[in-house]
Amino acid sequence: MLAIICCFSTSQALQIKSTSNQDIGFNAIDTCWRKHGDWATNRQALADCAKGYGADVEIFVNSYKTIDGRGARVEIGNGPCLRINDVEHVIVHGINFRKCLRGIPGLVRIDPDHLLNTSSNGVPDGDGIRILSSSHVWIDHCHFSNCADGLLDISHKSTAVTVSNNYFTQHDKAMLLGHSDKSPQDNKMYVTLVLNHFASGLTQRIPRVRYGYVHVANNKYDEWGMYAIGGSSCPTILSEANYYRAKNDSDAKQVTRRISNDPGWKNWSWNSKDDVFLNGAYFVSSGNVWTPNYAASQAFELAPGGSVPILTLHAGPLQL
Active centre residues (catalytic): 205
3-class DSSP assignment, residue 53: helix
The residues that bridge with 191 in the sheet, in sequence order, are: 161, 214
Residue 119 vs residues 67, 108, 122, 131, 220: alpha-carbon distances, Å: 26, 10, 6, 18, 38
CA distance 270 to 151: 23
How far from the centroid of its chain's Cα atoms is residue 5's Cα?
A: 22
How many helices (H) and strands (E) would you count in the chain? 5, 28
How far from the centroid of its chain's Cα atoms is residue 110's Cα?
A: 23
Query: Do the beta carbons of residue 221 and residue 241 sit within 8 Å?
Result: no
Long-range interactions of 278-281: CB distance < 8 A, separation 24+: 278/243, 278/244, 278/245, 278/246, 279/245, 279/246, 279/247, 279/248, 279/253, 280/246, 280/250, 280/253, 281/221, 281/244, 281/245, 281/246, 281/253, 281/254, 281/255
